[in-house]
Copies of this chain bind each other. A is one copy, B any other.
Amino acid sequence: MIKIAVDAMGGDYAPQSVIEGVEQARDKFSDLEFMLYGDPTAILKEVKNQERLTIIETTETIEMDEEPVRAIRRKKDSSLVRAAKAVKEGEADALFSCGNTGALLAAGLLIVGRIKGVARPGLISTLPVVSDQGSCFNLLDTGANAENKPEQLYQYGLLGKFYAQKVRGIQNPRIGLLNNGAEAHKGNKITLAAHQMLAEDESLNFIGNVEARDLMKGVCDVVVADGFTGNAVLKAIEGTASGILSLLKEAILAGGLKAKIGALLLKPAFKMLKKRMDQSTYGGAVLMGVKAPVVKAHGSSDAKTVYYTMEQIKTMVDGNVIPEFCDYFAKLKAEEENNLDNLKK
């Protein structure tokens, strides 16, 4: 049985959409069990069937605009902090929230805890590809850190590779480094050094630098970026996609009856477009590098997105992703120490 600790109070439509998605996942997967942290009255109002749901009363909620680390430290009885503690203490296998991203990241780092050997956990997002080269790509770090060192970017290559292999089933994922030009000599101090480290690791299928222009063409499976740039690129993609779609809608509305009939005839095409651009089926963003799956879905997530995120969490737990990470990094660490010892002799 897989136990998922759910911050039932986080998100724009919480607890309603959270509970609805949780129930859909429970009904679909017989090995999922949920611990719902929050206001029991509000939660019970939404619950249709309590099978494999445990409701745990908490008295506080972290709001969307609260300063993350302070909120985590002060609101000990918040749904998020209590859910994170359940994961830390082994009562649950994974942590889920649609609430304040910064607070979830802080809870992941400070409560669930970093994997030994991982310098800086990174947030990995899944984004759509418009060509036939696969259906999506992963981008990390999309905002767990405001700045990164080259070694951290190198580790993102390893983290992203594991994720793509275990969760997306890609045997030998193509890793690219987000840079300001495709040529190997391009970049700033950090990407130049990271490029070298990524290229030197023969266990990685490193394809070199990639430009933000080519990500949606499916140029690679995993894109490594520092948290500041990754965050900006993620938001630029989201903003542009939603901007164009709203512009299209506006143009159709302005076109009168003729345009309306045209739009009707194009309904299947628009549906396909929307489906290809839809991120919800990919689940949420995962904080890679902490001791359990810590997964964030969009604040505006509907039940469907919550459902898919639960499926994603199940895939991570079933695939033993985190324990295998831990082993991998423990080995890396041991090898490094071994090398150091040999150097000292």
Contacts and interface: CB of A to CB of B under 8 A. Distances in A.
Contacts of A247: 130, 273, 276-277
Contacts of A241: 240, 244
Contacts of A236: 212-213, 215, 232-233, 236-237, 240
B235 A212 contact: yes
A322 B273 CA distance: 45
A258 interface: yes
A276 B250 CA distance: 12
A340 interface: no
Which of A217, A252, A262, A276 lies at the interface centre, i.e. has the most chain B CB atoms within 10 A of its CB? A262
Interface in A110-131: 130
B269 A252 contact: yes
Contacts of A67: 185
Interface string A213-256: 11111000000010111011111111111011111100110110
A187 interface: yes
Contacts of A255: 266, 268-269
A248 B269 contact: yes
- The binding surface of chain A is classed by DSSP as helix
Contacts of A212: 231-236, 239
A272 interface: yes
A293 interface: no
A136 to B, nearest CB: 13
A277 B272 CA distance: 22
Interface size class of A (residues with CB under 8 A): 35 or more
A245 B183 CA distance: 27
A102 B187 CA distance: 13
Interface in A295-337: none
Contact of A265 (B213, B216, B258): B258
Contact of A266 (B189, B191, B262, B277): B262
A270 B258 CA distance: 13
Contact of A259 (B146, B217, B269): B269
Interface in A73-95: none
A228 B188 contact: yes
A240 B261 contact: no
B178 A232 contact: yes
A277 B273 CA distance: 18
Given A236-B240, A239-B212, A180 B262 contact: no
17 contacts: A130-B244, A188-B228, A212-B239, A214-B239, A216-B240, A232-B236, A236-B236, A244-B244, A247-B276, A248-B248, A251-B269, A255-B268, A255-B269, A259-B266, A259-B269, A262-B265, A266-B266
Interface of A: 65, 67, 102, 130, 143, 146-147, 178, 180-181, 183, 185-189, 191, 211-217, 225, 227-229, 231-241, 243-248, 251-252, 254-255, 258-259, 261-266, 268-270, 272-273, 276-277
